[in-house]
Every structure is written in C-alpha cells, then in structure tokens.
Amino acid sequence: MRVPPSDGPSLDLARIRRELPDLDADVPLRYRPIVDRLGTARTVLEIGRGEVGLAHLLGAPVVTCDVARAGSLAPEERFVLATGTSLPFRAASFDAVLAVDVLEHVPSDRRASLIREATRVSRGLVFLAGPLEGSASAEGRVRKALMALRGRTEPWLEEHRALRLPREAEVRGAIPDGWNVERVPNVNLNVWTGNRLLMGVVGRPARILPSLGPLLDRGRTYRVVFVLRRAGD
C-alpha cells in the first residue's frame, strides 16, 4: 500500500545553500522524500549520519549515532557513539528512525541486525534509503571515469564494491512482521552519475538540482527509500 506524504517539516533550500555552500546536491535530494514523510514525528534518530545529516538540513533536534565521532555537530544535534547493529536505546524510543546510504557500508551478514534494531527503537516509522545491487554497474562506470579523469576514485565507492550493494530481497527479508513497506525511487541514475562526475572532477555542487526535487525521481533511479510504517498506525 502506498502511503502519501504527510504534512510536516520541509527543507529550506535557501538556508541550506547559505549555511552549506559547498554541499553535494545529492545530500538534500536523498533526504527530501524522508522529510516529506516525517509528518508529526517529534523524536528522530539517524543511524550513521556521516558528515552532514538530517539535523543540519532541518535545523531541528535530531539524535544521531555513528561508529566514528562526528566532526561538526548541528546546533540542536545530540550525537551518540554507537553502532547501528546494537543501539543503546530502549524499544520504541523514537517516533522515527532513519538510515540513509548506510546499509551498503555494513557487511552483508550484519545488515539484518541493523534493520531489526531500527524497527525495535522506533514507535512506528522507519526509513531505509540507499542504492541497491542494480546500481552497481553505474558505480563501476563512475569509478572508471574518475580514475581516467583524475587518477583516483572515491573511498566510499571502493567500499561499496568490496561489500557489494544490498539486494532488495535482502532488505525486505530483514524487515520484521507487522510493518507495511512503501518503496520510493530516489534520484534518476543519469542525474546521479552526472552529479558524481561534476563533484569528483570539478568539485562544485550543481545547486539547481535540489530545487527540482521529485522531478529527478523518475525513470531508473540510483537509490530506493523504503518507508516502513508499523501496521495499524
């Protein structure tokens, strides 16, 4: 069953451009479908937030965790040093839990544990976003292009290749019973590829892309956002 986006927060792209002028355009693009569906969630946990996460983009309180200490915290961010496969929180501690571009950086034998932990600590809303195995060939082309154009690739692309991108059946199979799943395509594959080459070679963000929002989610996409809602909510 497809659940329509709920009223709630939205990304202030003007503020984001002002405060984070060099931010990769893919960052707000990957978070937009999540923000559109947060609805009235007041307590939010982000697993594996990396350098810039939801707290930076929303300018609102968010609890974040990662296996390495975060560099620059957002003003209202609370950071916890923790692994997503063993979260130090009680069951149903958060209205919403998200893991964005995280599963592909987790060994395949531990991905199910992260998904179960995300559902355990959520009261009823979970977002799992990232590339699936169908995007591996596009990543391979980007790696080759970067090597040819600048003599090196990106460490995160190498990690994707080493760990292999998740299969959709792998993700769905790890979701516990009692959750409804909405599948949301995110960022057209050609747009993603062009943006990666622009950032990798020129080092400048394509600032127009985040403003195009859902228009870029058409056709074959690089990423999928799985929206999990507890049955009955």
Kindly report the average pLDDT of the chain as a whole number. Answer: 94
Output the pLDDT for position 71: 80
Output the pLDDT for position 8: 77
Output the pLDDT for position 151: 95
Q: What mean pLDDT is predicted for residues 140-157?
A: 96
Output the pLDDT for position 2: 38
Taking alpha carbons only, the member of 145, 91, 140, 144 closest to residue 118 is 91
Long-range contacts of 142-146 (CB under 8 A, 24+ apart): 142/193, 142/196, 142/197, 142/200, 145/197, 146/197, 146/200, 146/201
- Specify the CATH class of 13-133+166-188+206-230 in words: alpha beta
* pLDDT greater than 90 at residue 49: no
Q: What distance in Å separates the CA atoms of residue 44 and residue 113, rounded to the nearest whole number?
A: 19
For the entire predicted model, the pTM comes to 0.94
* Per-residue pLDDT tens digits for 173-189: 999 999 999 999 999 99
Extents of the domains making up the chain: 13-133+166-188+206-230
Q: What distance in Å separates the CA atoms of residue 225 and residue 233, rounded to the nearest whole number?
A: 19
Residue 7's pLDDT band (boundaries 50, 70, 90)?
low
> How large a percentage of the chain has pLDDT more than 90?
89
* Per-residue pLDDT tens digits for 87-116: 999 999 999 999 999 999 999 999 999 999
